[in-house]
């Protein structure tokens, strides 16, 4: 079996990388160590790179179909990794999950309708709701004893007031929860009873730490399957975000027809030659890379926890159950959000995702991306430690 070296430092500058080359434009500072955008500083699995190289050698990049073998690869992966048997016709294409969420909001709700999200959560969830003139309803997660939970009493009350759509983040970015089957069942039943469509963004579903299991929302029951749109993708799993190819799984034929029409009305059904190829080869041949990657990232997580405990105990790790994104509780530093932000940028020279960008519930927190060589993570933590010591 091919062994991967995730310690390898790969220079990503001048590759038009949003994470590395886009830092200055976003943060207004140069020479920041980028630990923000949710992609990895690791090369994708060798079979994916080889498949792309071989295809590139062919030299003709005309209009491309999605072959049957592409669908088979998605079906087999979902069965093998998530024990969910999906059908070929359920799989719809979108050039990304955020565009899919945007279409879903537009086509499964009307202006003024209520759409519910559970902050602190991935920022585009709120954006796709408000951008299209829908009313944003929040069911904030509760943070108690270092763990986030859903607030079901609040959820029930909010759903009772005419919510049309619920956008679920499962596993959850940024708090790292891998929702249990019981939690999802409770949420799903509440939605079924009130005729609320559940859009389950499962982009992080393959990135789950040992001891936790991701439950696809649509796998829980036939009723749930008929009342959901599930969004998955190889992009986070295999570091393919730049190829813009995602899988929107819709078992319900009526919902599927509406979604497909929305995509077709914008002529977005066409495929990126490399995206389709990479998806298929990653799902077919990328499993051992993923297992090794998860092992490495979980060691990074241990390293992060130990480093902070020893050197910056005021920062507490909200221990993730999945995702390579870690939510850090910085409130014991006793700084307001602006001071913390300035300290990280100007003194520590690190680019992290500011907590409040995930909703006001995230104030006092930051999100760090640990899918990088350990030396980069160490450097980032050392910079933060020094900056904090210097400001005391």
Contact set with ligand PLP (CB under 6 A)? 38, 96-98, 122, 169, 173, 201, 203, 233, 235, 241, 246
* Helices 68-82, 273-285: inter-axial angle, 10-degree rounding: 40
Nearer to ligand PLP, 132 or 378 (CB): 132
Radius of gyration of the chain (CA): 21
- Least distance in angstroms from the C-beta of 244 to ligand PLP: 7
Nearer to ligand PLP, 37 or 192 (CB): 37
- Least distance in angstroms from the C-beta of 104 to ligand PLP: 12
- Least distance in angstroms from the C-beta of 269 to ligand PLP: 16
Evaluate whether 190 touches 152 at the Cβ level (below 8 Å): yes
Q: Comparing C-alpha atoms, which of 310, 307, 274 is closest to residue 375?
A: 307
Q: Provide the H-helix boundaries in the chain.
A: 18-21, 23-27, 46-58, 68-82, 97-108, 124-131, 152-159, 181-193, 222-226, 234-238, 253-265, 273-285, 287-311, 337-342, 374-391
Nearer to ligand PLP, 163 or 371 (CB): 371
- Least distance in angstroms from the C-beta of 353 to ligand PLP: 10
- Least distance in angstroms from the C-beta of 236 to ligand PLP: 7
Nearer to ligand PLP, 233 or 292 (CB): 233
Nearer to ligand PLP, 121 or 343 (CB): 121
Nearer to ligand PLP, 197 or 343 (CB): 197
Residues 35, 39: Cα–Cα separation, whole Å:
9
Rounded to whole angstroms, what are the CA distances from 99 to 48, 145, 262, 329? 24, 36, 11, 31
Nearer to ligand PLP, 366 or 388 (CB): 366
Nearer to ligand PLP, 173 or 388 (CB): 173
Residues 260, 86: Cα–Cα separation, whole Å:
17
> 344: cis peptide before it, omega within 30°?
no
Q: What is the DSSP string of 258-309?
A: HHHHHHHHTT-----HHHHHHHHHHHHH-HHHHHHHHHHHHHHHHHHHHHHH
- CA angle at 67 for the pair 61 and 71, rounded to the nearest 5°: 130
**Helix/strand/coil for 37:** coil
Neighbours of 2 (CB within 10 A): 10
The pair of structure tokens assigned to 21 is 């080359």
- Least distance in angstroms from the C-beta of 233 to ligand PLP: 5
- Least distance in angstroms from the C-beta of 73 to ligand PLP: 18
- Least distance in angstroms from the C-beta of 174 to ligand PLP: 8
């Amino acid at each position: 079996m091919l062994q991967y070296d995730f310690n390898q430092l790969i220079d990503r500058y001048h590759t038009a990388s949003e994470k590395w080359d886009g830092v200055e434009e976003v943060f207004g500072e140069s020479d920041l160590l980028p630990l923000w955008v949710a992609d990895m500083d690791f090369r994708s699995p060798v079979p994916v790179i080889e498949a792309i190289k071989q295809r590139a050698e062919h030299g003709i990049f005309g209009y491309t179909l999605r072959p049957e073998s592409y669908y088979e690869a998605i079906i087999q992966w979902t069965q093998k990794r998530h024990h969910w048997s999906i059908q070929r016709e359920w799989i719809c294409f979108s050039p990304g999950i955020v565009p899919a969420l945007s279409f879903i909001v537009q086509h499964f709700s009307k202006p003024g309708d209520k759409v519910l999200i559970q902050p602190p959560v991935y920022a585009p969830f709120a954006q796709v709701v408000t951008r299209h003139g829908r009313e944003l309803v929040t069911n904030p997660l509760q943070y108690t004893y270092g763990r986030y939970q859903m607030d079901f009493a609040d959820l029930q009350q909010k759903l009772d007031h005419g919510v049309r759509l619920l956008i679920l983040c499962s596993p959850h970015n940024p708090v790292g929860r891998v929702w249990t089957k019981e939690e999802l069942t409770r949420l799903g039943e509440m939605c079924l009873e009130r005729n609320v469509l559940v859009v389950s963004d499962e982009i992080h579903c393959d990135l789950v730490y040992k001891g936790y299991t991701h439950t696809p929302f649509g796998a829980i029951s036939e009723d749930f399957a008929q009342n959901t749109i599930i969004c998955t993708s190889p992009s986070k799993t295999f570091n393919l975000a730049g190829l813009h190819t995602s899988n929107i799984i819709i078992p319900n034929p009526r919902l599927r027809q509406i979604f497909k029409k929305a995509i077709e009305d914008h002529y977005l059904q066409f495929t990126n030659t490399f995206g389709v190829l990479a998806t298929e080869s990653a799902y077919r041949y990328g499993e051992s890379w993923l297992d090794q990657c998860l092992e490495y990232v979980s060691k990074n997580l241990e390293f992060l926890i130990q480093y902070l405990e020893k050197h910056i105990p005021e920062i507490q790790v909200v221990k993730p159950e999945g995702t390579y994104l870690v939510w850090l509780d910085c409130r014991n530093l006793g700084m307001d959000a602006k001071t913390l932000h300035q300290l990280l940028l100007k003194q520590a020279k690190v680019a992290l995702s500011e907590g409040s960008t995930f909703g006001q519930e995230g104030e006092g927190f930051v999100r760090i991306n640990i899918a990088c060589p350990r030396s980069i993570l160490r450097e980032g933590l050392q910079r933060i430690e020094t900056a904090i010591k210097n400001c005391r």
